């Protein structure tokens, strides 16, 4: 069965060239996938805009209307970090709808897995507010849509962006049907994601936050996956895995101070694909979040496609970090105790 990708030119029309999250990011990804011969191996899933019903499972009508008004007025800012261009509302609708399209394609058996190459990104957007470069929360909209089909009872969301996905956690904090897992540099924007945040009410225990100090590197991330993620995802037993894929944890990214290499990222992607094969018939979808060093971003996405295609190929033209890695054994022990893994 094919591996799919979601793309539409509208995603390039959400653009502010002076901003770190600009259209050049996606152009560079597409150029690299083309030059490496990957696009020809994939099935294009043409997106459509998210419906009002799909968006309103996650966002308030007032927030949706605000984004529309700002775009129709010629653009502006929702906050100091988050811009709206004249076509941003259409792009954001089609980004959220693109991931819903991919989810439905996987559930229908049209493709085995895939990557939504969408923008603007989404994991910081809350019910009432766009923030952190994000307008609508694409992965949350898709998770809610998958549950609404009745074909899915439990969704596991893995977020390896260097920033905590506060909007995604907020959307499902009290929902036992969604498990949210995040590795993120801490304390760092947006300041959320402490390890004591584990879900509330009926969702207690359905959040795993791994707030990492700077310079952790490949070994630390591998320890997180081996000691924490594998036992918790097996305990949760999802029907679908969604991945907020941010490549700003790389040691060359200009916006953070982590120590991951492309080889380290590829290992995380391969592990997530293995989890999906082991637990939910391979049903896994990645969606684009952060990553601001263009070659790292593009090769990170390329390696995710190798993983979904079942290949061991890893493209890493940049190499490993020259900085020493920081151990996190104490944090791992705290989290194992918090989540009853001892």
Query: Mind listing the pLDDT tens digit for each residue in 32-91?
Result: 999 999 999 999 999 999 999 999 999 999 999 999 999 999 999 999 999 999 999 999
Kindly give the residue spans of alpha helices, DSSP state H, lying in 118-259: 138-148, 166-172, 217-224, 230-236
The H or E element containing residue 209 is strand 207-212
Structural contact between residues 302 and 38, judged by C-beta atoms closer than 8 angstroms: yes
Q: What is the DSSP letter of 227?
A: I
Per-residue pLDDT tens for 84-136?
Answer: 999 999 999 999 999 999 999 999 999 999 999 999 999 999 999 999 999 99
Q: With CA atoms as reference, report the closest residue to 82 among 137, 4, 160, 143.
A: 137
pLDDT tens, residue by residue, 208-258 = 999 999 999 999 999 999 999 999 999 999 999 999 999 999 999 999 999
User: For the chain, what are the domain ranges?
Assistant: 3-338
Looking at residues 317-342, what average pLDDT do you find? 95
Q: Quote the tokens at residue 182.
A: 């995040």
Q: Which residue has the tokens 């998770």?
A: 143
SS3 66: helix
Q: Which residue has the tokens 């011969």?
A: 37
If DSSP codes are grouped into helix, strand and coil, which group holds residue 243? strand
Contact 182, 210 (CB under 8 A): yes
Residue pair 210/224 in contact (Cβ under 8 Å)? The answer is yes
Residue 267 pairs in a beta bridge with: none
pTM of the model: 0.98
pLDDT band at 342 (very low <50, low <70, confident <90, very high): confident
296 pLDDT exceeds 90?
yes
* Average pLDDT value for residue range 179-198: 97
Instruction: Give the C-alpha separation, 194 to 197, whole Å.
Output: 6
Identify the band that residue 1 occupies on the pLDDT scale cut at 50, 70 and 90: confident
Band (pLDDT 50/70/90 cuts) for residue 199 is very high
d(CA 222, CA 50): 35
For residues 122 and 89, give the distance between their C-alpha atoms in angstroms, rounded to a whole number.
13
- E strand intervals along 1-94: 3-6, 43-45, 76-77, 83-84
β-sheet bridge partners, residue 88:
none
Confidence of residue 145 (pLDDT cuts 50, 70, 90): very high
Q: What is the Cα gyration radius of the chain? A: 18
The architecture that CATH gives domain 3-338 is: 3-Layer(aba) Sandwich (3.40)
- Strand partners for 245: 288
Q: Give dist(CA 155, CA 247) in Å, integer.
A: 22
Element (H or E) spanning 244, and its range? strand 240-245
- pLDDT mean across residues, the chain: 97
DSSP classification of residue 164: -
Query: Among residues of the chain, what percentage have pLDDT more than 90?
Result: 99
Catalytic residues: 124
């Amino acid at each position: 069965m094919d591996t799919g990708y979601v793309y539409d030119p509208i995603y390039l029309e959400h653009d502010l060239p002076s901003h770190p999250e600009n259209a050049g990011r996606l152009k560079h990804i597409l150029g690299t996938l083309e030059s490496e011969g990957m696009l020809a191996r994939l099935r294009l899933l043409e997106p459509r805009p998210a419906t009002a019903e799909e968006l309103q499972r996650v966002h308030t009508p007032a927030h949706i209307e605000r984004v529309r008004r700002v775009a129709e007025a010629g653009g502006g800012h929702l906050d100091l970090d988050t811009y709206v261009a004249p076509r941003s509302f259409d792009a954001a609708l089609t980004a959220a709808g693109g991931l819903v399209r991919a989810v439905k394609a996987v559930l229908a058996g049209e493709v085995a897995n895939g990557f939504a190459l969408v923008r603007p990104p989404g994991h910081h957007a809350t019910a009432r507010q766009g923030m952190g470069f994000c307008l609508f929360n694409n992965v949350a909209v898709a998770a809610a849509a998958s549950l609404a089909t009745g074909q899915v009872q439990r969704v596991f969301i893995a977020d390896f962006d260097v920033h905590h996905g506060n909007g995604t956690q907020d959307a499902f904090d009290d929902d036992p049907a969604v498990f949210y897992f995040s590795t993120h540099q801490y304390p760092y924007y947006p300041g959320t994601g402490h390890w004591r945040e584990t879900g509330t009410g009926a969702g207690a225990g359905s959040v795993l936050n791994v707030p990492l100090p700077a310079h952790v590197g490949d070994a630390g991330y591998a320890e997180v996956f081996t000691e924490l993620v594998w036992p918790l995802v097996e305990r949760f037993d999802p029907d679908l895995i969604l991945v907020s894929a941010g490549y700003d944890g790389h040691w060359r990214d200009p916006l953070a101070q982590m120590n991951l290499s492309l080889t380290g990222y590829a290992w995380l992607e391969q592990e997530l694909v293995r989890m999906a094969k082991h637990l939910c018939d391979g049903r896994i979808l990645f969606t684009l979040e952060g990553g601001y060093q263009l070659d790292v971003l593009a090769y990170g996405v390329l390696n995710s496609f190798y993983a979904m295609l079942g290949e061991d190929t890893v493209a890493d033209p940049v190499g490993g970090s020259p900085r020493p890695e920081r151990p996190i054994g104490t944090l791992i022990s705290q989290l194992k105790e918090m989540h009853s893994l001892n």
